[in-house]
Amino acid sequence: MTSPLVDIRGLEKRFDLSGSLLEQITFKNGRFQRRQEAVHAINGVDLQVYKGEALCVVGESGCGKSTVARTVMGLLSPSAGEVHYDGQRIDDLKGQQVLPYRRKMQMIFQNPYASLNPRMTIQQTLEEPIHFHRPELSRNEVRSKVREVMESVGIDADWGSRFGHEFSGGQRQRIAIARALAVDPEFIVADEPISALDVSIQAQVLNLLMDAQETRNLTYLFITHDLAVVEHFGTRVAVMYLGRVCELAQTATLFSEPRHPYTQALLSAIPRLEDDRPNYIRLQGEVPTPVNLPSGCVFHGRCPYANERCRQEIPRLIATDGGNQVACHAVEEGRL
């Protein structure tokens, strides 16, 4: 396989909960103790995104998928691990050095009601990044670029002097997509771009993203919790649970033969028309808190196949057939 466009290696992100030094010190059993707590949002994620594909990251709320997206974009700095773009490490770049990557990598956000500046017109919102990244363009060139990009997302180019609040949610998300496309990026991180939209609009926006992928030769890292979207959109799928990737596979393979017990449970939860008596896999318990991670496999407390090894040893992603990967001792040992 060719070298990946985006390479995430051993990424970890912890959010400190314990506050300042004074707040960490507690008095317990007759002596002072220093107590530090952190939310382990991502615990060692390795992902490769190849040029031209749409890698979907799925998982339930709080599994760290949005944190992965924000860390890749540099909105958060990783606690450990590296992010590489086109062979160049980008997570430790400072100041001006990041700018070329800001142009190549763009992001689409979840909430179209908050992602447009309420005090800026659409024209200003779209012109600013072009001015900033391509100062050599004249006013007219910028304006025609804005026109082109607005038309490409299906927004009337004459609406530029309006403000964000004058548009519907779907239109705003189109404008947010136009803003990301305005700087001609190669790689787009989409953080649940359609989950805040009405169902009837979701398909339109999804198709818009797919058209843009085709015409502009884009690569996506697509964060979602909607499995139907994944099936429609993704080239490959990474399933996350509690800050770890548990399975990474081609979309078709993942949906036809899920290997990891968590993936199997997740897929069995999709409601299907043909089922009048659905066969859900019922997991016991709840997702453990990311503050105190379970030892070994993060899924062992809820996994019907867990044994002693799963409680002790953290499973690593192992390659199965066809370039797919799964992190499960049971699969590795052939128990599953």
Partner 1 sequence: MTTATLSRWDRFRESFLWYSFKRDKVAIASFVVLVLMVLAAIFAPLLAPTNPYDLAQINIMNSELPPVGMQGADPAFPLGTDAQGRDMLSTILYGTRVSLLIGFGAVVLQAALGILFGLLAGYLGGRVDSILMRIADVQLSFSTLMVAIIVGAVFKASFGNLMFGEIAIYMLIFIIGVAEWPQIARTVRASVLAEKKKEYVDAAKVMGFRTNRIMFRHILPNTLSPIFVIATVQIANAIISEAALSFLGLGMPETQPSLGSLIKSGFDYIQSGSWWITLIPGLVLVVLVLVINLLGDWLRDVMNPRLYKG
Residues of this chain that bind partner 1 (CB under 8 A): 70, 73-75, 98-99, 102-103, 105-107, 109-111, 114-120, 128-129, 132-133, 158-159, 161-162, 166, 176, 179, 183
Residue with tokens 């004074």, as numbered in its chain: 22
Kindly give the residue spans of alpha helices, DSSP state H, lying in 14-93.
21-24, 65-72
What's the maximum distance between 2 C-alpha atoms anywhere in the chain?
73
Pick between residue 44 and residue 64 the one whose CB is nearest to partner 1: 64
Q: What angle do CA 151, 153, 155 make, to 5 degrees?
A: 60
Smallest distance, Å, CB 253 to partner 1?
32
Pick between residue 120 and residue 314 the one whose CB is nearest to partner 1: 120
Pick between residue 99 and residue 291 the one whose CB is nearest to partner 1: 99
How far is residue 327's CA from residue 41's CA, in Å, rounded to a whole number?
18
Residue 320: name the closest of 266, 250, 272 by CA.
250
Q: Is-contact 67 41, C-beta < 8 A? A: yes
Question: At CB < 8 A and 24+ separation, what contacts does 211-216 make?
Answer: 212/152, 212/153, 212/177, 212/181, 213/54, 215/152, 216/181, 216/184
Pick between residue 193 and residue 315 the one whose CB is nearest to partner 1: 193
Smallest distance, Å, CB 144 to partner 1?
19
Residues in the chain, total: 336
Q: Is-contact 323 252, C-beta < 8 A? A: no
Pick between residue 30 and residue 118 the one whose CB is nearest to partner 1: 118
Single-letter code of the amino acid located at 276: D
Smallest distance, Å, CB 282 to partner 1?
36
Pick between residue 64 and residue 129 the one whose CB is nearest to partner 1: 129
Pick between residue 41 and residue 245 the one whose CB is nearest to partner 1: 41
Smallest distance, Å, CB 51 to partner 1?
20
Name the β-bridge partners of 189: 107, 221
Smallest distance, Å, CB 116 to partner 1?
6
Q: Which residues contact 241 (CB under 8 A, 6 or more apart)?
A: 59, 60, 63, 262, 287, 298, 299
Pick between residue 162 and residue 232 the one whose CB is nearest to partner 1: 162
Smallest distance, Å, CB 314 to partner 1?
32
Smallest distance, Å, CB 128 to partner 1?
8
Q: Tell me, rounded to whole angstroms, the distance of Cα 206 from its chain centroid.
A: 15
Instruction: Please give the helix or strand (H or E) that residue 6 lies within, else none.
Output: strand 6-16
Smallest distance, Å, CB 162 to partner 1?
7
Name the β-bridge partners of 196: none
